[in-house]
Amino acid sequence: MLPGTGIEPGSPSVWLFKLEKIRRNVDRLGGPVSLPLIGNVHQLRRNPKDFTRQLFEFMKEYSHLKVFRLLIGGHPLILVCSPEEAEPLMNSTKHLDKASDYNFLHPWLGTGLLTSTGDKWKSRRKLLTPTFHFKILNDFVSVFNDQSKVLLEKMRGLADGKTTVNVFNDITLCALDIICETAMGRSVNAQLNSDSDYVQAVYRASEYTFIRQRSPWLWPDFLFRLIGPGKKYDESLNILHSFTEKVIKERQHEFWKRYDQNKDITMEQLLSEQDLSMGQKQRLAFLDMLLCTSSEGKRLSFLDIREEVDTFMFEGHDTTAMASNWALHLIGTDVSVQKKVHEELDAIFGDSERDATMDDLKEMKYLECCIKEALRMRPSVPVFGRSLTEDIVIRGVPLEKGTSVLIVPAAIHSLEDIYPDPETFDPDRFLPVNCVSRHPFAYIPFSAGPRNCIGQKFALLEEKVILSNIFRNFSVKSMQKLDEMCPLAELILRPGEGVKVILTPRKKAM
């Protein structure tokens, strides 16, 4: 019997009592009024655009609390909206497990680097960190350039200086081609074939995962398939996994033709022993590095490799695509900012049409400030989730082990005491002199602490190449106000109304 209740353990009443106890406890943190059993589900808007608007309204309304809660049925979500409250959670070596909400990605990504927990995550992180070695990133720059040229050719056909065009899909498909080639060594030619089954499957899998995350009645597998989009989701996963598996098998065959399958190949050997063909070094893909990676003397299994490739395809595509789209829009809204971008690029390249090099990218300091400011205003990942690995107290409220805590960059990046007039695009915020006294967890677009994004350097380099190629060749005038972009906070924060601009070919000032 539970003390003071008269309720016998094991009865349905015990379960209901526990749910109500959890609700009353987390309600002390504040937030929209919750109801027994259903929590806040009845208040959450179903339309994705309306839901995103509501989420931003919640963040603004409860920002003074620094932490507030939402209840999805009996599942509490603790939203952390200040750097002071985020730091001990993100810097912790204990609370490294992803929130249970990430479990809905397991059918797609398995338990790769994004979704794994505990010892598996620690060993994978250690194994995969060398794959983002400077030399490897340097080799990837040529892929960024090649795919950006395809994007430029498409844009030249749209650039007449007077017609409004939506470049959202063009930039997104460019990012997809880049991640396919760098992760798998194959291109799906998404920029030239946007109707491909693979491209559409990526979008559908993301959409169905997000629908399920915020719909408790779809959490059980059988209901997801019976009354939800579960069957369509399975069809999309079959397309994605079949493509990945086919590429892995082909790449394995090629890899072991070049190297002795019975010989251990180290990452250093792989980098130094690449075949030379027609005088050019053969490009390595992320997949090649996985094939030679060993854990405790054992090579990664086929499934291990697939889940990491699928993870990088997911994480490395949408995030960089959205960051590039938001940055393009924001730079296109401010003539003075764009003038500085043009001047910086002209100083680096003059009237040359040559590809950007790693040294060039280091010189794009103002463009980097623009990218960082865009990520502040519209972070590609608006929320990061953690699952508490032990009981803790937040703002005087005890929270049990297993509770989902969501750190919200979208809220932290909008705090007026840190970023005055936060909805104004001001790249100067990220000049070195203006960052010195800022709280280290006041800017976290790539997460922070031990579980920060392993690919953040990759992402920034890619975005610099895409955007520098665009602004070297065009002047961009954004035809939407920021509040007309209708952000969609799905798995990634995307502009719901696209990115509508006027492109004008530019003559470079010398």
Segments in 106-228 forming alpha helices (H)? 106-109, 118-128, 134-156, 168-184, 197-213, 221-226
Cβ-contact 185, 289 below 8 angstroms: no
Is 453 annotated to bind a ligand? Reply is: yes
Reported as type and span, the H/E element at residue 377 is helix 365-377
Distances in whole angstroms, Cα of residue 464 to Cα of each of 136, 167, 232, 346, 469: 17, 17, 36, 15, 8
135, with CB counted inside 10 A (0-12, 13-18, 19+), is exposed
Separation of alpha carbons 240 and 311, rounded Å: 11
By C-alpha distance, which of 86, 125, 88, 98 is closest to 389? 98
Radius of gyration of the chain (CA): 24
Separation of alpha carbons 271 and 283, rounded Å: 10
Separation of alpha carbons 289 and 132, rounded Å: 10
Which two structure tokens, joined as six digits, stand for 249?
């098998």
Q: Which residues are annotated as a binding site for heme?
A: 453
Q: Which residues are annotated as a binding site?
A: 453
